[in-house]
Structure 1
Amino acid sequence: MTLRRLTPLAALTALAALAACSSKAPVPQDSGAPVNAVRVPLPENEALPPAPSGDTKPIWAGSPGGDSVRFGQPGGAPALSLACRQGVIVVTRHVVAEVGAQALFALQGSKRIVRLAVDATAVPGARGYLWQGSLPAGDPAAEVFDGPFVGTLPDAGKISVPGSPLVRALLAHCATHPATGAKPAGPGAVE
């Protein structure tokens, strides 16, 4: 009978001794990478755009026909572009988007705050899908582009854009060409 009482006591003593002697597992070092990061190899045969020098600032540039303007580093890919297509302003944020993704592009200008619905869209000449939305040129929400504005898009970060006479000229030009069958900004842009 005494053997049965000592056995559980001996087991507890052994467990306590093991717990006191054991060391903690080593903590893995933080590599600085996101926890679920996935490496995607870049194509080796495709040249990367030239890296901008530290003193160059992004600027607005216009197309020869005046139907589009783009904002970005000189000689590099645009970060944002606006185009007039039959009286509709097409806004493209040049950041890769997942197929089928939808979001609201929050735009804060000096005259308006607008949330523009954007979708992942295949854009000719661009790899993958980019964020793109549109609104009629005569829509009051288009005034957000009339001066400097800040845009925020999920997974694309924040972009600060200065005002430009090129943008104002595009808006004026596009407003004179009424949209054929364009829908009001209701679902596309919310103020």
Structure 2
Amino acid sequence: MTMRRCISLLALSILAACSQQAPAPQDSGTPLNAVRVPLPESQPLPTAPAGNDKPVWAGAPGGDSVRFGTPGAGPDLSLSCRQGVLVVTRHVPAEVGAQALFALQGRKRIVRLAVDATSVPGSPGYLWQGSLPAGDPAAEVFEGPFIGTLPDAGKISVPGSDLVRALIRRCGARPATGATPAAPQAQE
């Protein structure tokens, strides 16, 4: 009986050991079944601007365009004049063939500017770009502070600037010719 009793106690202790719960895994902050994907080495990672530099408007040589962004970094938004047409570029990557409405909310009006994924010389890939005649009342949204929202590009808060007002005034003084950029017009 003692032998049977020893075997029974041994079997019970083995079962008791098997029925204990496994220790909970340590939370590493990553989701279960996460897969690491290496980033392409050909493109550097974006870096935060150094110091407390705030984005500002800056004019380009020639006076036909202005850019809004952090000094020393690429622009976040640019406006340029081409033959009496104001071309608006949101410097955020866009998929080839994509179209969207760039919602612009100013003090006096709200404008929904149709934008397309456009290949811009000097920029890798495609960026969001749209246009409207400089004399269009919708262009007033750019003359003061405004907030712009674009799908998958987030929100941008832009202050008003004399540089922008001067560009729109000069651009509106030029007659729009038949050869306008092939970007869609603004919708109000």
> 149, 152, 166: which is aligned to 2:163?
166
The match for 1:63 is 60
Partner of 2:132: helix, strand, or coil?
Answer: strand
Sequence identity, in percent?
70
Retained in 2: the 8 A contact 1:49–1:77?
A: no
Specify which of 130, 148, 151 is matched with residue 148 of structure 2. Answer: 151
Unpaired segments ≥5 residues, structure 2: 1-18
Of 70, 93, 99 in structure 2, the residue corresponding to residue 102 of structure 1 is 99
Moved segments of 4+, more than 6 Å:
35-38, 46-50
TM-score computed with the length of structure 2 as normaliser: 0.77
Instruction: After superposition, give the CA deviation of every residue in 1:29-70 in whole Å (9 maximum; x if it has no partner).
Output: 6527xx899654131xx6677741241100000012110000
Residue 36 and residue 49 in structure 1: after superposition, are their counterparts in 2 closer, same or farther (change >3 A)?
Answer: closer
Q: Which residue of the partner structure matches residue 30 of structure 2?
A: 31
Give distance in 1, aligned partners of 2:143 and 2:90.
17
Given that 1:50 and 1:75 are in contact with CA atoms closer than 8 Å, whether structure 2 keeps it comes out as: no
Partners of 2:177 and 2:75 in 1: CA distance: 28
Which residue pairs with 2:40 in the alignment? 41
Change beyond 3 A, Cα 1:140–1:182: farther
Q: Could you list the per-position Cα deviations for residues 124-155 of structure 1 after superposition, in whole angstroms to 9, with x for gaps in the alignment?
A: 00000000000000001100001000000000
Q: Which runs of 5+ in 1 are unaligned?
A: 1-20
**Aligned residue number for residue 186 of structure 2:** 189
Matched AA of 2:122: G
* Residues 28 and 111 (structure 1), Cα distance of their counterparts in 2 relative to 1, 3 Å cut: farther
The verdict on how the C-alpha distance between 1:100 and 1:39 changes in structure 2, with shifts beyond 3 A counting, is farther
- Listed as ranges, the matches of 1:66-105 within 5 Å are 66-105=63-102
Structure 1 length normalisation: TM-score? Answer: 0.76
What secondary structure, in the 3-state scheme, does the structure 1 residue paired with 2:140 have? helix
> Which of the residues 13, 29, 49 maps onto 1:52?
49
Amino acid aligned to 1:109:
G
Aligned counterparts of 1:142 and 1:37: Cα–Cα separation in 2: 45
Query: Quick one: structure 1 residues 88 and 52, their matched pair in 2 at CA, closer, same or farther if it must change by over 3 Å?
Result: same
Label 1:42 to 1:159 Cα distance change in 2 as closer, same or farther (>3 A).
farther
Q: Is the 8 Å Cα contact of residues 110 and 149 (structure 1) preserved in structure 2? A: yes
Equivalent residue pairs, number: 163
